[in-house]
Amino acid sequence: MGIEACGIHNTSYQPHMQKILVVDDEQDVLLMLNSLLQRNGYEVATTISCEEASAILDIFHPDFILMDVNVGTQDGRNLCKKIKSEARNEHISVVLISGNEELLQSYKECGATTFLRKPFPSANLIDMLKKHVV
């Protein structure tokens, strides 16, 4: 099964690039993050659903996941818990993003590395990636 069949909507590829999976139900956010991350030298896959993210994870093998807390009717924190509960995924840094500051403390409960409040300056995201992506 090809990567396209698993729902990866945008990808770039060059050998030895750090891989980032972006999960958000807002297409404009995905396009902006895809462009920003590619310009900064990352290989990027994007998806609009948690189901697709699970399938992509097994094929794309990201080093880092940037995931909205609210992905349509789904809660990204549940997917984060699932991902981090599997030993093969322990090395993956997961950053939850949300415009709801009340969710700030909930990232710890699901095993995420950190939380980033929307909207965020591009420089803050890139700095955070450099800190958390080996």
What are the DSSP E strand ranges found in the chain? Answer: 19-23, 43-47, 64-68, 70-71, 74-75, 93-98, 114-117
CATH code where residue 104 lies: 3.40.50.2300
The range of the structural domain enclosing residue 45 comes to 4-132
Between CA 132 and CA 89 the distance in angstroms is 15
Asked whether 17 and 62 are in contact (CB, 8 A), the reply is no
Q: Which residues contact 98 (CB under 8 A, 6 or more apart)?
A: 68, 69, 70, 115, 117, 118
Q: Using one digit for the tens of pLDDT, what is the confidence trace for 103-122? A: 667 777 888 988 888 888 89
Chain centroid, CA 71 distance in Å: 11
Q: For the chain, how many structural domains are there in total?
A: 1
The pLDDT of 26-30, averaged and rounded, is: 93
Q: Residue 52: left if φ>0, alpha if ψ -120 to 50, beta else—which one?
A: alpha
Of the segments 7-11, 70-74, 113-117, which one has the largest average pLDDT value?
A: 70-74
On the CB side of 115, CA atoms within 13 Å amount to 18
The predicted model scores a pTM of: 0.84
If you average pLDDT over every residue of the chain, what do you get? Answer: 85
